Amino acid sequence: MDIKKREPDWVDESNHLVDRNSLKNHTDIYIRQLLTATFDEMVKRNQERTKIREIVSAF
């Protein structure tokens, strides 16, 4: 029987991994990684917006 593995769902530069293949039976881990990755992305975008606002206000 051949098991078809799919590619990881999401990987970012800080090595957060959300992979439905390996976490299928680990819902808590999956949710924690997904929330951590989402929060990290939100913080990164907020920092970028703050930098842009500072640059714009300097002009």
User: Whole-prediction pTM value?
Assistant: 0.49
Domain that holds residue 39: 10-58
pLDDT value, residue 57: 92
What was the pLDDT predicted at 46? Answer: 95
Closest alpha carbon to 22 in 38, 37, 9: 9
| Total of domains in the chain | 1
Residue in 30, 29, 32 with CA at minimum distance from that of residue 40: 32
Residue 34 within a domain: yes
Walk along the chain (59 residues) and give the pLDDT tens digit of each residue. Answer: 566 666 555 655 555 665 555 555 566 777 888 889 999 999 999 999 999 999 999 88
For residue 18, the cross-strand partners are: 10
Q: What is the rounded distance in angstroms from the CA atom of residue 4 to the CA atom of residue 14? A: 27
Helices (H), the chain: 27-58
Give domain status of residue 5, yes or no. Answer: no
40/50 Cα distance (integer angstroms):
15
